[in-house]
Amino acid sequence: MRESGVYCELIPGTTAWETLRGRAPKALILSGGPASVYEPEAPLCDPAALTSGVPVLGICYGMQLLAHQLGGQVAGSARREYGPARLQVDDAGRLFEDLPPELAVWMSHGDTILKAPPGFRPIAHSANSAIAAIGDDHGRFGIQFHPEVMHTPQGREILSNFLYQVAGCRGLWKPAAFIEEAVLRIREQVGTGKVLCALSGGVDSAVCATLVHRAVPGQLTCLFVDHGLLRRDEGRRVEEVMNRHLGISLASVDASADFLRTLAGVTDPEDKRRRVGAAFIEVFDRAAARLSGVQFLAQGTLYPDVIESTSHDTHHAQRIKTHHNVGGLPADLRFTLIEPLRYLFKDEVRAIGTELGLPDDMVYRQPFPGPGLAVRIIGEVTRQRLETLRAADWIVIDEIKAAGLYRSLWQSFAVLTPLQSVGVMGDGRTYGNVVAIRAVQSEDGMTADWARLPYDVLAKISSRIVNEVPGINRVVYDISSKPPSTIEWE
């Protein structure tokens, strides 16, 4: 919605219509979700919201919910649809205006609509969904596919049609408007208090720090924690970039030994993430104790982190993995959190970073997980395994940049697996580790497709890793998309 220049807010779908009406919405959008409408505890909307006269667009589960609550029939499908599909538009109307009669779309559902509710008519179908879209004459529509993901190429046009042709919205919302609102909210929340910001060097924390600094200049202290789980030379580069471009005082803490002790013997991915999150807070707590009057902790949490971790405001979502800056925080956290980017996606944050004047090498730095290399080492994290992965990862990035592909990829990195395989080096038998290479393309990190890297680039990466990194004798390339896989292996 915001990419189309329309301001939107994310709220629980169970919110009462009386509350919604007070916000004077131009339209309501019901999102997808993992539930089935006929389950006993399936999340439902306030029926008054669906009959209020406000335009409604139901997406995936939202479409099924719209049909179910308005008198249609929904059931489990014998032929599920997960992945790419072809949509045949039977009635273009306002929703599919000026679009081809056949569209490539992305499906991800196990239930299907058997009968449209009274007053609605089917307006599109696919091979496995006789009713893949519905609509009525009052601005209410349902679509079984996901228009918000990059795998639905005309998805933005469909959403724009709903916003402009159906709901009568105007495209006046821009990144500058968000900056102004965020600065005012931070200023109101913080007052004269002091803020400690977790600075990693990535665009999320950089934009977060810049917003806080702009809102309350002189009240922000940035802290960079070297947890020993970073890529090669990253700590030094982070300090240089932060000091040179942001002009914000940056303190550094070397806590690598603490984090290694915390992760010793741990192999479960969720446990790793929770331990890294808890260790982060402990380090910040100690650092804050040396600063007088720090009340707030600023974090660059994004909405995909919130969705995948599930929290109080996404209580009907399904946990995919805990993010250290969302699900890993302790209940007795003594700081008040400031998360100005909590409801933004990465592409929006990059646009805001550009608007704030941050350098391109910071704005377009590939995302790096908060737990760092700990979740790119399958199994136990040790100092030796970290050094092995760091060396392999350096080669991946070096060759990706040399090929001019870095900016075209969402992420590219190496994964150290616990697998060992037989090899031959110097006419002798080896039994070394297997490294996996992951490179994906995405717009917001919610979905991703594996990158079709040139064979010569893959060959050079493989050759260099096997020859330059001790203990590695095999390299494989991950060709899984998200979904069904996640981008990270843990």
Helix (H, G, I), strand (E, B) or coil at 337: strand
Catalytic residue among 146, 151, 213, 323: 146
Most confident of 219-233, 234-248, 453-467: 453-467
- Model pLDDT, residue 306: 67
Lowest mean pLDDT among 19-28, 97-106, 312-321, 391-400: 312-321
**Is 148 an annotated catalytic residue?**
yes
Calpha distance 279→7 (Å, rounded): 37
The answer to whether residues 265 and 273 touch, using CB atoms and an 8 Å cutoff, is: no
Distance separating the N- and C-terminal Cα atoms of the chain = 30
pLDDT tens column, 429-464: 788 899 999 999 997 787 899 999 999 999 999 999
**Is 339 an annotated catalytic residue?**
no
**Could you tell me the CA-to-CA distances from 395 to 370, 402, 416 in Å, in that order?**
21, 10, 13
pTM above 0.75, yes or no: no
Burial pattern 75-108, b for ≥16 Cβ within 10 A else e, equals: eebeeebeeebebebbeebebbeeeeeebebbbb
- Model pLDDT, residue 125: 95
Lowest mean pLDDT among 127-141, 176-190, 232-246: 232-246
Task: Answer whether residue 324 shows pLDDT above 50.
Answer: no
Greater confidence (240 vs 120) lies with 120
Sign of the dihedral through C-alpha 144, 147, 152, 158 = positive
- Confidence category of residue 245, pLDDT binned at 50, 70, 90: low
Catalytic residue among 45, 60, 197, 208: 60
**Percent of all residues in the chain with a pLDDT value above 70, rounded to a whole number:** 92
Calpha distance 10→36 (Å, rounded): 21
- The H or E element that residue 189 is part of is helix 175-190
**Percent of all residues in the chain with a pLDDT value above 90, rounded to a whole number:** 56
pLDDT tens column, 15-59: 999 999 998 999 999 998 888 888 888 889 999 999 999 999 999
Q: Read out DSSP for 91-158?
A: --TTTTTTS-SEEEEEEEEEEEEEEPPTT-EEEEE-SS-S-SEEE-TTSEEEESS-TTSTTSTTHHHH
pLDDT tens column, 250-274: 888 889 999 999 999 999 999 999 9
Calpha distance 64→51 (Å, rounded): 16
Neighbours of 434 (CB within 10 A): 18
Lowest mean pLDDT among 9-13, 185-189, 199-203, 226-230: 199-203
Catalytic residue among 68, 81, 109, 148: 148
**Is 146 an annotated catalytic residue?**
yes
Q: Which residues pair with 449 in a beta bridge?
A: 441
- Confidence category of residue 305, pLDDT binned at 50, 70, 90: low
pLDDT tens column, 326-380: 344 555 667 888 999 988 888 889 999 999 988 888 888 898 888 999 999 999 9
Calpha distance 410→203 (Å, rounded): 13
- Confidence category of residue 174, pLDDT binned at 50, 70, 90: confident
